[in-house]
Amino acid sequence: MSDQSTKVKALVLRGYSLNCANETAAAFELAGAKATIAEINDIISGSISIQQFDILSIPGGSTFGDDFSAAQILANTIRNQSMPDGSTLLEQLKLFISKGKHILGIGTGFQVLVKVGLLPNIGGDFEQEVSFQQNDSAKFENKWIYIRVNSKSRSPYLENLEVIPVPIRHSQGKLIVRDKKIELKMLTTHQMCLSYCDNNGRPPKGYPNNPNGSTMDCAGLTDQSRQVLGLMPNPEAFLSIYNHPNWRQTLREKPESSLEGIGLQIFKNIVRHAEDKVPSV
């Protein structure tokens, strides 16, 4: 890993009830990055520039209690509120991507990326193409499920991963698609990079393996550049094998198992790809 002066810099946003910033920052630190947590209002005020960082993450949490549709108010702020230089945070995010940098949205963060048009951005015009509704179960789902990586997605953040056990914590996680044309494009471009599955990686056949009723069992999306990843489950909650409810059984049956949680691999992948572009000094 690079020394401190050239270390990958990850910015994790906080505010508007994004309450998983500490866990997400810890994940980036364990993956080898230098993580900074910053209030969204400090970004909008110009006190901190996202362009100083290599990775930007919008973590999970229930923005405004999800009373106004998941992440909608925060998305409106990002899209419309002017910063001191006259730009919006959405315009800054577009510039961030144009520089080859990396964005990760988890849970509510995924919802934000969808509502500002960064994901899946099939048309390339940053218009909203998918959205989220209340879970089909009509309740908050807090449990461990499985997601499967689409091997054709070409997402560098999902390398060396196939079937991932991971927790979910959401009440509005049902992904819906604007129209059949977008739905088909998501499949043909392989931007639907993660899907819910059973413990063997097979299609979930509905609830509970698909915990929210998402269209096409979608659990995560990437954009066409593969620099933006959003997923509904919470990999930052599986950084150690001891996070998993069956860790004792795993170590008893496979004592050689890594003590790292599988969720950490996503953060390691992001940091590794970001590190390739960090200049040496």
**Is 97:51 a contact under the CB 8 Å cutoff?**
no
Looking at the domain assignment, is residue 1 inside a domain? no
CATH of the domain at 93: 3.40.50.880
Looking at the domain assignment, is residue 3 inside a domain? no
Looking at the domain assignment, is residue 281 inside a domain? no
- Residues of the domain holding 116: 8-275
Looking at the domain assignment, is residue 12 inside a domain? yes
Which amino acid belongs to residue 256? E
**Is 182:122 a contact under the CB 8 Å cutoff?**
yes
Looking at the domain assignment, is residue 154 inside a domain? yes
Which has the closest alpha carbon to 164: 112, 222, 220?
220
Q: Which residues of the chain, if any, have pLDDT below 70?
A: 1-6, 62-70, 279-281
User: CA 281 to CA 278: how far, in whole Å?
Assistant: 9
Model confidence pLDDT, tens digit, residues 141-181? 999 999 999 999 999 999 999 999 999 999 999 999 999 99
User: CA 263 to CA 26: how far, in whole Å?
Assistant: 12
User: CA 145 to CA 196: how far, in whole Å?
Assistant: 8
Model confidence pLDDT, tens digit, residues 266-280? 999 999 999 987 765
Total domains present in the chain: 1
Phi, psi of 203 (to 5 degrees): -50, 145
Looking at the domain assignment, is residue 64 inside a domain? yes
Q: What is the model's pLDDT at position 195?
A: 98
pTM value? 0.94
Angle subtended at Cα 190 by Cα 185 and Cα 194, rounded to the nearest 5 degrees: 120
Max CA pair span of the chain:
58
Looking at the domain assignment, is residue 69 inside a domain? yes
Looking at the domain assignment, is residue 280 inside a domain? no
